[in-house]
Amino acid sequence: MYQIKELLNPNSNIQKLDLVSFKLGVESSRLLIECLKKNTTLTELNIRGASYYLNFKKLFEALENNRTLVKLNFNNCQVYCTYLTYLADLLETNKTIKELYLRSCCITYHGLFDRREQRYLSTILMMNKTLTTLDLRDNCLNNSDMFWIGNILKHNNSITKLDLRSNWIYNEGIKLLSNSLKKNYRLNKLCLKSNNIGDKGVCYLANYLIVNKTLIKLNLGFNKIGDTGAQYLANSLKINSSLCVLDIDHNTIGNNGASLLLQALETNKTLVKLYLWKNSIDLSTIKSIGKKVSINRKNKERYQCLQILCLKKINKLGRTDEVKKLIPTIYENCLSKYL
């Protein structure tokens, strides 16, 4: 309660309000909403699991004109689908919110976009230009929901991190999502952990990875990926030049699949982390893969050092038009000298 009252203080400079598992009563909920209407310093609001008496309609309305809030965390709150219209209105009006967390929010148990309110939210998300992180894990999203998620990703040019772990996404849902991702050029982190993705679903993702140039982190842990799925991933890694982190732990990959991944690392020079924990792979094969990934990691570190050296040299010379023409030559000279 003290933190909420402090928001009323005109001299307050509170930037983060953390009410995790704080059981808001009727009065404290009313006070919180009144404070948020007037506050001009708060950048992060975390009410995870604190929503029993909270009126989300009034809360979302109170935040519509906020000009400082960047992060909203409603994890484990009961944000039922009837409130999604108000959340959509908030995202349409507010131009500062970059991170939205809706984990385990009881949004629905029958598909996120089965109702008019939910489809309205998807339309707003398509047009949103500020949101960079969207967390929808553990909301019972199913295959049909991936059609709408895919539409969002086709049109949204701001979301860079999407978390869909612990949902009900099967191979057909992954097909819908992967086809849409081929037209997305912003997403760089995608989590599909703990769904029901098998080898067929991985085939769709692998086809996406072959043409993708922006995704740097993909989490496929705790699924049903076997050697065939590993083969699809290995084929994509031979071509993909953007993926840096791949998590496929807790699957059913054996030595055959691991050997194919090892072969792919002969060509791939960008993957710096590969998680294979809790598969059926021999220790010797895991060590061989680890060595290859380690080489990539060291080369990346050296390349980053190279970039810093080049930038220092360019800044020392001054950024004139003449110097700009010499930038490729400067990089080439640094490369031959330090690598």
pLDDT in tens, 202-252: 999 999 999 999 999 999 999 999 999 999 999 999 999 999 999 999 999
Residue 114 in domain: yes
Give the pLDDT score at 330.
65
Residue 264 in domain: no
Residue matched to tokens 């969207």? 134
**Lowest-confidence range among 46-50, 215-219, 263-267, 312-316?**
312-316
Residue 292 in domain: no
The whole-angstrom distance between residue 102's C-alpha and the CA centroid of its chain comes to 13
Q: How many CB atoms lie within 10 A of CB 228?
A: 17
User: Is 77 in contact with 47 (CB distance < 8 Å)?
Assistant: yes
**Rounded CA gap, 177 and 167, in Å?**
14
Instruction: Give the residue numbers spanning the domain of 101.
Output: 2-253
Give the pLDDT score at 308.
78
Higher-scoring residue by pLDDT: 317, 253: 253
Please say if the pLDDT value at position 285 is more than 90: yes
183: confidence class by pLDDT, cuts 50, 70, 90: very high
Phi-psi region of 140 (alpha: psi -120 to 50; beta: other; left: phi over 0): left
Q: Does residue 51 sit in helix, strand or coil?
A: coil
User: Is 253 in contact with 289 (CB distance < 8 Å)?
Assistant: no
In the chain, DSSP finds a helix count (H) and a strand count (E) of: 12, 10
**Rounded CA gap, 194 and 167, in Å?**
7
Residue 166 in domain: yes
Strand locations in 34-155 (E):
44-46, 71-73, 99-101, 133-135
44: confidence class by pLDDT, cuts 50, 70, 90: very high
293: confidence class by pLDDT, cuts 50, 70, 90: very high
Which CATH number is 62's domain given?
3.80.10.10
- pTM flag (> 0.85): yes
What is the helix, strand, coil percentage profile of the chain, to 5? 50, 10, 45
Residue among 319, 307, 265 nearest 290 (CA): 265
Higher-scoring residue by pLDDT: 262, 39: 262
Q: How many CB atoms lie within 10 A of CB 201?
A: 27
Find residue 163's DSSP bridge partners.
Answer: 135, 191
Q: Which contiguous run of DSSP H or E holds residue 284?
A: helix 283-317
Give the pLDDT score at 5.
60
Residue 47 in domain: yes
Mean predicted lDDT score pLDDT of the chain: 87
Residue 209 in domain: yes
What percent of the chain stands above pLDDT 70?
A: 86
Highest mean pLDDT among 31-40, 82-91, 226-235, 310-319: 226-235
Cα torsion 226, 144, 186, 183: sign: positive
47: confidence class by pLDDT, cuts 50, 70, 90: confident
Count of structural domains, the chain? 1
Residue 120 in domain: yes
**Rounded CA gap, 205 and 248, in Å?**
13
Give the pLDDT score at 338.
45
Residue 65 in domain: yes
**Lowest-confidence range among 34-38, 111-115, 209-213, 232-236?**
111-115
339: confidence class by pLDDT, cuts 50, 70, 90: very low
Please say if the pLDDT value at position 4 is more than 70: no
pLDDT average, residue stretch 322-338: 63
Q: What is the pLDDT of residues 59-80, one digit of tens each?
A: 888 898 888 999 999 888 877 6
pLDDT average, residue stretch 14-24: 79
164: confidence class by pLDDT, cuts 50, 70, 90: very high
**Lowest-confidence range among 44-48, 187-191, 286-290?**
44-48
pLDDT average, residue stretch 181-206: 97
Name the burial class of residue 136, with classes exposed (0-12), middle (13-18) and buried (19+) by CB atoms within 10 angstroms of its CB.
buried
Dihedral angle over CA of 281, 285, 290, 293, nearest 10 = -100
